[in-house]
Every structure is written in C-alpha cells, then in structure tokens.
Chain A
C-alpha cells in the first residue's frame, strides 16, 4: 500500500442532516428524465419522439459531434414529453416507466478478453460513456483522445456526501470489473480515504491505489490528481465517480445498462435523512415525503451544498449525482447581524466568531449570503488555507476575470474545475462567486484553445 498523502488545508463545512446509514426505500419513479444539460460539451441530438417505446438502455439522445456517444433510457417505458426551453433548447426527455422493466441486452462480456476499441464501443453504445469526464476543463470525454490516466476517487469529502463504503461497499466485484475494462484504455488510479480502516475498496487490483487524508476537498478527484500526477499542458486525463465504475462493471457482467444507485438524502430541511435506491432523472417531487409540505421555503440541490446544482422542486436528480440536499432558503433579515458579537447559530471559519470553540457542532445552514458582493479584499492566504493544491486561488480567479489566457495557464487552470475552489468561495468574506469565475475562465479556454 502506498504512503498516505496528508492534506493539511481544507474545510469541513458542518451542515446538519447527515444521512443515516440505512436504505429507507427503493423507488421506482413513474416518470424519469434524461437530461443532456448536466454533461458539459455534449451537443444533444434527439433520437426519439413523443409516444416512442424505449427499453432500459435504448438510445434517447446522441452527441452531434460524436454520434456514437449516446444517452440511453434508465428505465423502460414510453416517451411522454420532450421538454424544451428558450430557443428550443432541449432540456429533458421524460419517459413514463412501465411495469415490465425490460432492458436492452448488450451481452455479458469479459473485459479482459476485449480490446480497447471494443470496450469504448460497448460504453458508448450502452450510454455509459458520459460518466467519463475529461480534464482539463471537465468536459465529455473525447473517444479519440489518449488520456494519460483515469482517476477515480473512492470517497467523497463534500458536506453530507454519500458514504461510498456504505453505498458501494457490497459491489466491489462489479467495481473490479469496471477497473478491468477501463485499465484497457489507460492506467487507472483509485484514491482511498486513509481514515477508513479496512476499506472495502482496498482489495481492488489492476489499478494503482493511493491513500488520502484530509478535509474537503481532499476527496475531490481534481485535488487528488494534482498530488498524484498533475495535468500538464497538452495532457488529458479522464475521471469518473465510483458509482460510474460500478455501472460499467455491471454492464460487462450482466450485459445490461443499470445506473440504479443508492442516493443520500441529506440536509437540514430533510425530514428523514437516509438513503434511497433510485435512478438518475428521478423527479424531485417524488422525494416529497422527505422534505415535507413547505417546498417554497426549501432549496432542492442535486449534489452537495458547495457545488451541487439547484434543481428546483420541478427538477430531477442529476445524471452523475448520488446525493440530494434540502436546505432552507435564508431570506430572513437579521437585525444588526453583522455586528452581534456571538451569533451562536451561525458557522464561520473566521476567529471573529466562536465556531472554533465547538468543532463538533453542526449547523442548520441556510442559503443566506450573509453580506453583499464586494471586490476581492482579503489576500490570497485567506482562501488558500482551505485549498490543498499548489496554486494561488486569488491570482487564478483574477486571471480568469481578466481573461488573460497566459496567466490562467500559469496559475493552474488545467488542474482545477470550479468544484475544487468551492471551499474558497464558501469562506470568502467578499461574497464573490468564485466557482462561476473559474467556470467562465474554463469556457474561455475551451473557446480559445479549440
């Protein structure tokens, strides 16, 4: 076993509402959405029309640039509605599930006996290819690219994140199959949580295992890459979540597309914080028993509170997410709040509050901004203390703001995705949307480097 890489900088955001380690129910949603929006770089082309019958694994959407890359239906049923937004932008394809739940049979195969091309084709055909995210820039992986490695983080340090030992610990055989398949494409690196003794994933073979210890974002694959093998200019790597690895394993083991996963229901506004088994694209409204009768006061986040997506009550569980967070909207005004000496119910990393006295405490956080937007005022170290990477976050953000490609390259734009700087955004007293700045910088790079 490799040495433990200890990351000293980082931040545990103490939100209330951690999911109990039990599966509350197994859901079979009546309607499921296939959303192309969550996949960066996918130009969707619709392959079905309303009323079409689809099986689990039938193609629904294809990528315009790479027509072989497909998004497939996670359930069998009929196409109920095609949801479009402004300028006829394709938002979602709604599929009404039937009772039979039949799947397309792609044929069980032994990945060890297949060539790299055959594995790629199997992934694209089944609709599992989009679990691969290509770095730099975090886009849909390009099948023609030759990545130097594939990275997987076996744990998630984001606030209230699903415990992978619990959700996937029993599926090690499938994950091993997934690794067998992907290691044909590039060397696979899996990062384990050093804190977990007897990790179920420590037995994995055919990949390089690394062990990390630290606060969030130590579990972010981007942070891990920067400590294992930083991305240089011109290099690409692929990453995927652990549940994606399990889905790939299941594809080769059973020949079926199966993205059913355990999803953690978390957050201070969750009535019952627990796990449910469901598929991505499940409507948020189906989770109503978990958030109660006042949806107008709740924000529905697909993902975690730091970099999840605000799905809204009418939204759906995201394609790559295995967590839902319900938090209250913080629209209350607080009289002279900023100058009150104590404010026991607020969490702050700053020493001008007293949260540091009670490191065990969890807080019912809301979406309140706690201030107004200002220019960068505190210096780089204020942000760097929660970012365990060898980069200057403020300099990088300013380079992105200025659109200075040369500086962005130098300050490490290739190594980060917005989610990696989420903790910096959290602690920012100037209330700047740092993740948004980085995302725009990445878009600029994509445009200029294309």
Chain B
C-alpha cells in the first residue's frame, strides 16, 4: 500500500477503503505472526461470495419474474424470455446500486473510524436486500432503510460479526413499519412503469398471502414451486432457492439443522391449523408461500445472528418455522410472518445458546463429579 494511506500519511482517512480494494484484487501477502504458522486457504471473502452465488439463481429468476409479472399485468403476450429478463434487470439494478452504495459507504466509513479492515459482511446483506423488498419501492426509501439497518443494526454493535439482527431483514422491517403503504396491498409486488396501471382481467394482483379466504389461493402448487407468482424479487421461486440451499448445505456455510427445523416447525403449525380448522390451506403449501423458503435458506441460517450451538440451531429453526406460520394464521394485519419470526428468533438466539451452554456446563459438572 502507498505510504500516504498509512498511519500518519496525508490520505490516512482512506486507509480502510484502499485496503478493501487492494485485498479485493488479490489475497494479501500477510503472513501469520503467532500461533499456527500455516493457515487454511479459506477466508470470509470466499465464504461470503459463495452465499452470493447460492442466492444468484433466485436473483436471476426474480429478475425474469419481475418482467413476466409486469407482462401479465399489462396483458402482454408473446414476449421473449430475454425481454422479460431485461425489463426486470433494469428494475432491480437501481435497487442493487442503492443498496451497495449506501451500505458500503457506511461500512467503509465505520471501518475507518474503528481502524479495522473492511469486513465482507455487507457483500451478502447488500445482495439480499433488493431480493426481499417490493421491486417498485422508491429508491430514497430503500436508501433510508439501508442506512438505518447498517448503522443501528450493525455498526453500533461493532460491525459484522457483532450484530444481533440480520441487517437485510432489518432493512425490510424498517420499510414495513415506516412505509406500510408501499409494502402491502395489491399492487406493490408488481413493477409498473410511470403512469401504468394493470389492465389484464386475469391479473389477481397480490401475493397469495395478502388475500384472506381460501378461494383466492388460486395459484397452484407448481406455480408457487417454480415461482411464477408476484412477490418480492428473490423470494418467489422455491426451486431456485432450493438450488442455493444445496450449495449452502454442501459447503457447510449454512446449517441444515436450522433449515430442517424451520420446515418441521412450519409443517407442525400448519398441520395444527388444518386440524383445528383455522385454515383451509393445506399445511405443506405453507412452505411455498411468501418468503418462507427464502427466509429459511438464506436469512435464518445467517451464522452471526442465529444460534451457535448445534442443539440451539434445532430449537432456533423450529421456532422460526412455528412463529412464521403462527403469524400467518392468526394475524391478518401482517400477511407475511417470516421476517418477524426470524427477527424475533434473532433476538432470542443468545438466550437459547445460553440455556444450551448452561445445560452443557451442568452436564460436565455432573460428569466431573462422577469421575
């Protein structure tokens, strides 16, 4: 690194930024100073870029779907697949730009203030944020929400690795409670150009969860599974999300225990809902609706904000799944329960870990006394 960026140099305030770009370009020639003299080739950059790669199918499908849903709403037919994709790409691109520019600017500045290297955590959060918000959200709102989530959700706790709540979900929660008009209702999930309104008769106009009563759940199993329904950009296609889940589980970055727990919890409450006659939605369909799949695979498994212990991961996952469906079944005000379920479980994750480790400690004490 050039000397002017080092401590005491003229451009010292750019140190973290220059360092971030430098280490992005190449693995630095830093050597181990103490402890183990050799290190595993894995680093956080690689781990986190894998999460982005895992989410890429959902993002690409989402972009196509934005165009496709717009076409449906406008009554277009015979449009080429690439045209749909291009439409969606142009719609989603500004979201990405806002998400990364605002988030990374704050991240770089806070790293500099703390005198640390810039952490890669926002690489993933910034990739997720556009996937879980309505595609037509005004950009300034997104910018405010991102700033809120990064500053108050992450930096005040000490940056990546120290946060309690998932920053991407915090962005969504901020939008959800601050600008509810843009986050719910019949039209927010479909992209429109300025001045356009829906014309097609066949257009149902809302994410299935926003409608009450079973009659409107016209969208079939395969539509939901493939994802040709309105919704947030990345959350609609269960199959694309499953592809990501396979990669995450294979590489061990995300915990399969949390994913399984979440699915089991959701099925359980969904089944109770069926059995008790609260809802007519078949319990397995709950897994396909809304943000459940995306949340289970990409959000609940965030290693920082979920549970640390293996037993805790099961509890955490099951709680997420159960809470999500409980919110869906009993709270008509919030159509989607996944975001709130995960944020609530994030809050309780340290408590769950505390209980698990206390049990572990007392078990050890017993073993010691017996020995």
Contact = CB atoms under 8 A, between A and B. Distances in A.
Nearest to A384: B310
B35 A434 contact: yes
A279 to B, nearest CB: 24
Interface string A343-382: 1001111111100000000000111111111111111111
Interface stretch (A102-110, A177-185, A314-322, A418-426): A418-426
Nearest to A433: B35
Contact of B43 (A411, A412, A431): A431
B251 interface: yes
Interface string B294-316: 00000000011011111000000
Contacts of A366: 31, 38
Contacts of B309: 379-381, 392
B357 interface: yes
Given A308-B37, A377-B161, A370 B29 contact: no
Interface stretch (B189-197, B285-293, B360-368): B360-368
Contacts of A395: 308, 357
Nearest to B362: A410
A347 B42 CA distance: 9
A349 B40 contact: yes
Nearest to A268: B38
Interface stretch (B45-53, B201-209, B271-279): B45-53
B47 A378 contact: yes
Interface residues of A, number: 73
Contacts of A370: 27, 39-43
Nearest to A334: B27
B214 interface: no
Looking at chain B, what size class is its interface with the partner chain? 35 or more
Given A333-B29, A372-B30, A425 B117 contact: no
Contacts of B30: 368-369, 372
A147 interface: no
A232 B368 contact: yes
B40 A378 contact: no
Contacts of B134: none
Contacts of B45: 338-339, 371
A36 interface: no
A435 B303 contact: no
B161 A430 contact: yes
A400 interface: no
Contacts of B119: 374-375
A244 to B, nearest CB: 24
Nearest to B45: A338
A436 B35 contact: yes
B31 A329 contact: yes
Given A350-B47, A430-B44, A371 B38 contact: no
A336 interface: yes
Nearest to A367: B31
Nearest to B28: A333
A375 B161 contact: yes
A372 B35 contact: no
A361 B250 CA distance: 22
A99 interface: no
A229 B160 CA distance: 39
Contacts of A310: 34, 37
B350 to A, nearest CB: 11
A350 B37 contact: no
Interface in B215-268: 250-252, 255
A92 interface: no
Interface in A378-412: 378-382, 390, 392, 394-395, 410-412
Given A331-B29, A335-B26, A346 B41 contact: yes
A377 B121 contact: yes
B35 A305 contact: no
Contact of A351 (B36, B162, B250): B250
B39 A379 contact: no
9 contacts: A337-B26, A350-B40, A350-B46, A352-B50, A370-B43, A375-B119, A380-B309, A382-B252, A434-B35
Given A366-B38, A368-B39, A429-B43, 19 more contacts: A232-B368, A232-B371, A305-B38, A306-B37, A308-B37, A325-B37, A338-B49, A350-B46, A351-B252, A352-B47, A368-B32, A375-B162, A377-B47, A378-B303, A379-B308, A381-B310, A395-B308, A435-B34, A436-B34
